[in-house]
Structure 1
């Protein structure tokens, strides 16, 4: 299977990717859609005519953003409360959703918490937020995705997947010493694996999933790391950072494509060791056996049959 390439690249923006795409009549959901690359993802989808829901922890604060998007775009914009760490919140959101869902962009995330923290269920917090909450949301919205008659799930991962695999035997650092980026790495690797297995399980339902690295963008994500450390020539604007997300969510160039990992608007190569420039995807992040094992583990964790 050859790597998929597009006319877009590192410098492309979300607007560039959707310039000739009409999303009128399609519905999208963007977690963390009121700031950072989530906001620029939502903006591009709204400008292309999609009806977009911003799923956020603080809906009151997101209302001004929603109003700005409505004023500048063609599609409707809604705001809904969602706390990915709180499974009850995820379940309520999924149960309240009505109608088909054409695009689910699992965008929200946290990075490199300096100290080990756990959710109410005892899950390491980066795992709970970046992966498990999104897994529960995606599974909970399966019927809505299937009803779309051709839906896409987008998992925002990171080049941090190159820092390490999912450590299945100690996900929550009960035995190994906590390391902020090790926790972030396994959560972002899990985001890729979810796309692999969702595509395998749901392709016949018309649902395809892909994962991506958005690039190095200065946002609130780096609040625990002292800011963006990437050299200036490798940094992107938020609109450039959203380009690969909207490519996977809405571009006709991705028709029929699932279970892959993208960066800079193109499918990334599989690498045998971590490159100095942190490009490419690790084999363990695309491994089918790892993906199946993770799906079973995650389903059990949230109380669903595997």
Structure 2
């Protein structure tokens, strides 16, 4: 299977990848859209004419972003809804309230390298927020996505997935010492595996799902890390928010990705599979696109969520 390539790359912006795209009459949901990449993704989708719902934990900041998007794009079909991905009840309330078809779901929200914390269900915070919440959201919206007839799901992963596969016997760090980066890596691996299995399971509904690495972008996601002065990423590899949102928006909108699913993209192009840590921001670990792992994670996710009811 050859890698998918596009005319876009590292420096492309969200506006550049949507040139000529018209999503008037289509509906999109973007999680974590109250700041950073999510806000820019929502703005770019609104600029295509789509009706966009910002699904956010912080309603006040989300409202400001929604108003700004309307002011900039002239699109008055920009809506706001509360969503706490770490709380299954909040996700259920969102999906239950949704009416009508859904064309695009962008699973953008996330936390990174945060201090040790668990939900009331005993789930490790990053796995719960980055994966389980989005899994519950996407499966809860499955009928809406299927009703569209040509829907797309985009999940924002990270090169950090190369830090850890799914540790099946201890996903919630009940026995091993907690490590914020291993927990983050595991959750980002889960994001890729979700895209693989969702594409397989929902093929008959013409729903495709892809995962992506947005690149190194300084946003509030880095609040638990050393931030801008860490020196972990060379300055010439740092992207603007507009560039960082480009890959997500490309996957959500471009005719070039019609029918493409279950893949992992970096800099607007599909990334190669690697068998060891690449040492770069490129490459998807073999375990993250393994179909057996993808099916196993789906079953585990269903089991965990069922226990929370």
Q: State TM-score, norm by structure 2.
A: 0.96
Question: 1:49, 1:74 within 8 Å by CA — same for their partners in 2?
Answer: no
**Equivalent residues in 2 for 1:46-195, closer than 5 Å:** 46-75=46-75, 76-114=77-115, 116-195=116-195
Supply the distance in 2 between the matched residues of 1:41 and 1:74 (Cα, whole angstroms). 16
Question: 2:34, 2:58 within 8 Å by CA — same for their partners in 1?
Answer: no
How far off its partner does 1:240 sit?
0.3
Question: 2:215, 2:281 within 8 Å by CA — same for their partners in 1?
Answer: no
How far off its partner does 1:19 sit?
1.2
Q: 2:285 — aligned with what?
A: 282
Unaligned runs of 5+ in 2: none
RMSD: 0.9
Question: 1:196, 1:209 within 8 Å by CA — same for their partners in 2?
Answer: yes
Q: Does 2:252 correspond to 1:249?
A: yes
Supply the distance in 2 between the matched residues of 1:154 and 1:96 (Cα, whole angstroms). 21
Question: 2:38, 2:108 within 8 Å by CA — same for their partners in 1?
Answer: yes
SS of the aligned residue for 1:186 comes to helix
SS of the aligned residue for 1:129 comes to helix
How far off its partner does 1:61 sit?
2.5
SS of the aligned residue for 2:111 comes to coil
How far off its partner does 1:131 sit?
0.4
How far off its partner does 1:122 sit?
0.5
Supply the distance in 1 between the matched residues of 2:60 and 2:156 (Cα, whole angstroms). 24
Supply the distance in 1 between the matched residues of 2:162 and 2:128 (Cα, whole angstroms). 20
How far off its partner does 1:162 sit?
1.1
Question: 1:158, 1:212 within 8 Å by CA — same for their partners in 2?
Answer: yes
Which of residues 293, 296, 299 in structure 2 aligns to 1:293?
Answer: 296
**Equivalent residues in 2 for 1:206-221, closer than 5 Å:** 206-221=206-221
Question: 2:155, 2:212 within 8 Å by CA — same for their partners in 1?
Answer: yes
Q: 1:271 — aligned with what?
A: 274
Which of residues 219, 231, 239 in structure 2 aligns to 1:236?
Answer: 239
Q: 1:197 — aligned with what?
A: 197
How far off its partner does 1:206 sit?
1.2
How far off its partner does 1:142 sit?
0.3
SS of the aligned residue for 1:52 comes to strand
Supply the distance in 2 between the matched residues of 1:113 and 1:70 (Cα, whole angstroms). 33
Supply the distance in 1 between the matched residues of 2:95 and 2:119 (Cα, whole angstroms). 20
- Deviations along 1:208-261, one digit per CA (max 9) or x if unpaired, are 100000000000000110204311111000110000000111111100100000
Question: 1:162, 1:278 within 8 Å by CA — same for their partners in 2?
Answer: no
How far off its partner does 1:83 sit?
0.4
Supply the distance in 1 between the matched residues of 2:74 and 2:23 (Cα, whole angstroms). 10
Supply the distance in 2 between the matched residues of 1:183 and 1:158 (Cα, whole angstroms). 13
Supply the distance in 1 between the matched residues of 2:294 and 2:100 (Cα, whole angstroms). 29
Q: Runs (4+) of structure 1 moved beyond 6 Å? A: none
- Deviations along 1:24-53, one digit per CA (max 9) or x if unpaired, are 111000000121000110111001111100
